[in-house]
Amino acid sequence: MNDLSFSPERLQASVLHHLTFTLGKDAPNASRYDWRMALSYAIRDRIVEPWFASTRRTWAEDHKRVYYLSMEYLIGRLLEDATINLGLYEAAEQTMVGFGQDLKSLIEDEPDAALGNGGLGRLAACFMESMATVGCPAYGYGIRYEHGLFRQRFEGGRQVETPEDWLKQAHPWEFPRPESAYTVGFKGQIETRDGKDIWVPGETVIAEAHDTPVIGWGGKWANTLRLWAAKPTTMFNLERFNRGDYAAAAEPETLARTLSRVLYPDDTTYQGKELRLKQEFFLTSAALQDILRRYLYRHSDLTALPKHVAIQMNDTHPAIAGPELIRLLSDDHGMPFEDALNTARACLGYTNHTLLPEALEKWATFTFGTVLPRHMQIVERIDSWHRRTYPSRPHYVGIVKHHEVRMGELAFIMSHKVNGVSALHSELVKKNLFPELDRLHPGRIINETNGVTPRRWLRMSNPGLARLITDTIGEGWEDDLDRLDGLKTHVDDASFRDAFAAAKRANKVEVGNWIGREFGVKVSPDALFDVQVKRIHEYKRQLLNILECIAHWHAIRNGAVSNPVPRVRIFGGKAAPGYAVAKEIIRLINDVAQVVNNDPKTGDLLKIVYPPNYNVSMAENLIPASDLSEQISTAGKEASGTGNMKFMMNGAPTIGTLDGANVEILQEVGHENFFLFGLTAEEVSKRREDPDHSRKAIEASQPLQDVLQMIAEGRFSPDEPERYHGLVHGMWHSDYFLVASDFDAYHAAQARVSAAYADPQRWYHMAAMNTARSGFFSSDRTIRGYMKDVWDVTPAL
Ligand code: 26V
């Protein structure tokens, strides 16, 4: 067990040791980077012990293991997180002061590991931390992308992408495992030997493991995040090199490394790119080979695999796991096809994260069959087995249709459990996405509402509020978040509310100073901080937000708002590089900010800020400083949302629609602590049946008409008045995401927000109630749900 009484003296010695012998620096010449690395190695040393202990215990008990397969892990920084989970924060602070170093600046020196796009990747990171906290023996498998999600800059208000380079400096948290390497094949052909079909790949690469230990709260358990890096199978060609043909000599190397070079940055439109399919198979095949190797080390009966192994597919991206596991079991280990299918299915679970048709993976059979010829055969056998076994299956249902392999259907049929990520979403998965499969397999679709780790998203990112919570309800809430409910009795106490407000204000002062310093916009910490941070997407409706900003601005200017409440409207988020409409919305926000922020008539009453390059670390700063959480997606489109939960925990009431997990947030806090507006998912579907819905909605709303008129006249783009004509035209004539239909309701809800904020007693009552009622949204609760309902595994602690 970990020795949490680890003294500052010992930590000091350890830091100095690493500075000297790992980094080869002496203290007087050490840079901030050197100190950060030395401290990170010293902290990492403390993780290794519980990590070994956890591994030994899992082996000793032959405990069932969970394998989480995900193309994305949006991790962020690790130093502070690990230090806090180990209970070493104060010791680290003292130690570094002794070296003349400020712990906070060292923490901020670490680059974010941004191996993910957004919600799905951040969820995987929260799950890894929660599995370690609840003591669930687990491995996360992913790809060690050399370049994570691109960096975002604004040029003239427009998004410009530059490559991200997190591995430029050494990454202190990982252990390269060159001995854990597997060959992954692509292409080639099928040969028949002794009446058996055998795949002979035409290309191969090596997947090499890099392990990062993930430590849970209290340092009691640690799991492994195993990321695969691609390496060439054939070393570079010496003969060519000697002939002077250097580029050709390095060709095998270049080809292989391309596989783990870069994260696909488009999480909105599926594109059918061969490299993406190869990445998916690369991750999945390496993981499954690793899983089987570990299993066969102890066991020999592969039909008992499901007793010892649970494999979770994070969306369809690793859905090739079904056919690949069948191939490994039958082609390589001689199991009959149907037994292999049933064994695989008993191991596999599939989590769906989106209903958006354009984000559902479908591969052209030509691409699929070229890259994975043997898997194409296996997919067809799975499909015909399913058709035979369920003769009432309608003809239009199936895995292979219209020369495409549908990965959703494949994942569904190859899993024993399929889950959505919020109550509403799971119902829509049944009703709209897989209605026929749900009928054929009743009970297979279940719900596991998302959660977030309160260690990172409350304890670490909001130390002021965390302290107040501990002072109020005592210790132990970090891994037992339902205890926050104990705050409820204090919410009526004015002195508690004052303390709550003071904690919030301190965070706002910090963020306000940062905004002034970095972006030259002066904001008051007493203004209402109204925040929408997430990927930019039409369905998330940042457009609705900025249109309402304009309406609000217009109303203040015209004296139509009595006693306006000063507001800072903060946006953050990246658009997929190829998503033109999302990029236009970014530009509009920046253009509007330019005009509004320089309007002496409105002055401090309204500021619009859009800091570039929103990432996990920025979220950790912004969310604790937020007063209002914007969750305004078109109902039925946001599968869950997880940012919404982080805001709630940090005492920011939601203005939102009945979408995703907002529904459950509302249920927990009650209407009096939530600003609800907008059409329901059902009303949305109905409204769309009227082809004239947008025109009618605009004609019924004078404020919206005024806003669209101002944009069309070039009020926010005086140098190019017609810049947003396309966007305005789209609003009038298509408006698929019903911005116009929800505009008035949103505008009115914002007025209710202002009224509530104008009464601080009332406001902080609401804010504190949000924190008090957020216990349900701990990812520990989510993980326990998966353990019981999907993985059939118990904690090893
Ligand atoms: C799709 C694709 C399409 C192929 C290319 C790359 C790529 C990458 C990601 C995705 C799916 C993104 C789905 C996603 O992130 N869903 C979000 O999942 C969150 C966690 O469950 C949830 O809170 C959000 O509501 C949901 O949008």
pLDDT digits (tens, 9 = 90+) for 174-217: 999 999 999 999 999 999 988 889 999 999 999 999 999 999 99
Does the pLDDT value for residue 149 go beyond 60?
Answer: yes
CA distance 326 to 54: 30
Ligand 1 mean position to 357 CA, how many Å? 12
Task: Give the model's confidence band at 1: pLDDT under 50 very low, under 70 low, under 90 confident, else very high.
Answer: very low
Does the pLDDT value for residue 223 go beyond 90?
Answer: yes
Ligand 1 mean position to 123 CA, how many Å? 10
pLDDT digit string (tens) for 101-126? 999 999 999 999 999 999 999 999 99
Q: Is 637 a catalytic residue?
A: no
Nearest partner of 232 among 199, 261, 207, 262, judged by Cα: 207
CA distance 797 to 795: 5
Ligand 1 mean position to 267 CA, how many Å? 6
CA distance 741 to 754: 22
Q: Are 321 and 69 in contact (CB under 8 A)?
A: yes
- Give Cα separations from 675 to 82, 382, 484, 751 (angstroms): 36, 48, 22, 10
Question: CB pairs under 8 A, 24+ apart, for 326-335?
Answer: 326/378, 326/382, 327/199, 327/374, 327/375, 327/378, 328/288, 328/289, 328/292, 329/302, 331/196, 331/197, 331/198, 331/199, 331/374, 333/302, 335/302, 335/303
> Environment class of residue 495 by beta-carbon count within 10 Å: exposed (0-12), middle (13-18) or buried (19+)?
exposed
Dihedral (Cα; 544, 545, 551, 557), 10-degree rounding: -170
Q: Is 686 a catalytic residue?
A: no
Ligand 1 mean position to 717 CA, how many Å? 33
Task: List where CATH 3.40.50.2000 sits in the chain.
Answer: 62-76+112-159+173-450+783-791, 454-777
Which residue minimizes the CA distance to atom 11 of ligand 1?
267
Phi and psi angles of residue 63, each rounded to the nearest 5 degrees, phi first: -70, 145
CA distance 716 to 714: 5
CA distance 570 to 627: 11
Does the pLDDT value for residue 4 go beyond 50?
Answer: no
Type of residue found at 175 = F
Which tokens is 734 given? Answer: 């298509």
Q: Is 353 a catalytic residue?
A: yes
Does the pLDDT value for residue 641 go beyond 70?
Answer: yes
Does the pLDDT value for residue 510 go beyond 80?
Answer: yes
Most ligand 1 atoms within 8 A of CB, residue of 74, 122, 266, 267 to mutate = 267
> At which residue do the structure tokens 């239909």 appear?
741
Which residue minimizes the CA distance to atom 24 of ligand 1?
641
> Environment class of residue 226 by beta-carbon count within 10 Å: exposed (0-12), middle (13-18) or buried (19+)?
buried
Name 211's bridge partners.
Answer: 175, 226
Q: Is 642 a catalytic residue?
A: yes
153: left (phi over 0), alpha (psi -120 to 50) or beta: beta
- Nearest atom within ligand 1 for CA of residue 123: 20
Which residue minimizes the CA distance to atom 1 of ligand 1?
267
- The catalytic position among 508, 534, 537, 541 is 534
Task: Give the model's confidence band at 783: pLDDT under 50 very low, under 70 low, under 90 confident, else very high.
Answer: very high
pLDDT digit string (tens) for 561-576? 999 999 999 999 999 9
- The pLDDT assigned to 585 comes to 98
- The pLDDT assigned to 5 comes to 54
Which tokens is 647 given? Answer: 């805001």
Question: To which H or E segment does residue 348 belong?
Answer: strand 348-351
Ligand 1 mean position to 742 CA, how many Å? 24
Q: Is 64 a catalytic residue?
A: no
Give the residue ranges of DSSP H helices in 394-479.
407-413, 423-428, 435-440, 454, 463-473
Ligand 1 mean position to 758 CA, how many Å? 37
Ligand 1 mean position to 261 CA, how many Å? 20
- Give Cα separations from 444 to 180, 191, 440, 489, 661 (angstroms): 35, 37, 9, 40, 21
> Environment class of residue 308 by beta-carbon count within 10 Å: exposed (0-12), middle (13-18) or buried (19+)?
middle
Most ligand 1 atoms within 8 A of CB, residue of 69, 117, 120, 662 to mutate = 120
Does the pLDDT value for residue 698 go beyond 70?
Answer: yes
Which tokens is 332 given? Answer: 């390589």
Average pLDDT, the chain: 97
pLDDT digit string (tens) for 332-371? 999 999 999 999 999 999 999 999 999 999 999 999 999 9
Q: Is 540 a catalytic residue?
A: yes
Q: At what angle do helices 32-61 and 89-98 cross, to 10 degrees?
A: 150
pLDDT (average), residues 762-785: 98
The beta strands (E) that lie in 187-308 are given as 189-193, 196-200, 203-215, 222-232
- Give Cα separations from 605 to 598, 675, 711 (angstroms): 12, 21, 21
Q: Are 541 and 503 in contact (CB under 8 A)?
A: no
- Give Cα separations from 28 to 19, 34, 39, 99, 110 (angstroms): 11, 11, 16, 10, 21
Q: At what angle do helices 542-557 and 702-712 cross, to 10 degrees?
A: 100
Nearest partner of 711 among 694, 688, 732, judged by Cα: 732
Which residue minimizes the CA distance to atom 2 of ligand 1?
267
- Give Cα separations from 74 to 496, 527, 535 (angstroms): 35, 31, 13
- The pLDDT assigned to 268 comes to 81
Q: Are 635 and 683 in contact (CB under 8 A)?
A: yes
Coil, strand or helix at 75: strand
Name 223's bridge partners.
Answer: 214
User: In this structure, which topology does domain 454-777 adopt according to CATH?
Assistant: Rossmann fold (3.40.50)
Ligand 1 mean position to 24 CA, how many Å? 43
Pocket residues: Cβ below 6 A from ligand 1:
117-120, 123, 264, 266-267, 270, 276, 315, 353-354, 359, 361, 421, 450, 638-642, 660
> At which residue do the structure tokens 């892990």 appear?
73
CA distance 706 to 548: 11
List, as one string, the DSSP characters of 121-150.
HHHHHHHHHHHHHHT--EEEEEE--SB-SP
Q: Are 73 and 125 in contact (CB under 8 A)?
A: yes
Angle at 506 between CA 501 and CA 511, to 5 degrees: 120
Which residue minimizes the CA distance to atom 4 of ligand 1?
270
State the pTM of this model.
0.98
CA distance 235 to 219: 41
- The pLDDT assigned to 462 comes to 98
- The catalytic position among 65, 353, 459, 781 is 353
Does the pLDDT value for residue 555 go beyond 70?
Answer: yes
Contacts of 531 (CB under 8 A, 6+ apart): 569, 570, 572, 622, 623, 626, 627, 628, 629, 630, 647, 652
Name 229's bridge partners.
Answer: 208
Q: Are 390 and 397 in contact (CB under 8 A)?
A: no
CA distance 222 to 293: 21
Which residue minimizes the CA distance to atom 18 of ligand 1?
120
Does the pLDDT value for residue 283 go beyond 70?
Answer: yes
Which residue minimizes the CA distance to atom 12 of ligand 1?
267
Phi and psi angles of residue 204, each rounded to the nearest 5 degrees, phi first: -140, 150
Q: At what angle do helices 725-733 and 702-712 cross, to 10 degrees?
A: 150
Which residue minimizes the CA distance to atom 6 of ligand 1?
267
DSSP state of 227: E
The CATH code that applies to domain 62-76+112-159+173-450+783-791 is 3.40.50.2000
Nearest partner of 419 among 397, 398, 438, 399, judged by Cα: 438
**More confident: 2 or 323:** 323
Q: At what angle do helices 760-772 and 739-757 cross, to 10 degrees?
A: 110
Name 187's bridge partners.
Answer: none
CA distance 761 to 784: 37
pLDDT digit string (tens) for 715-737? 999 999 999 999 999 999 999 99
Most ligand 1 atoms within 8 A of CB, residue of 315, 406, 777 to mutate = 315
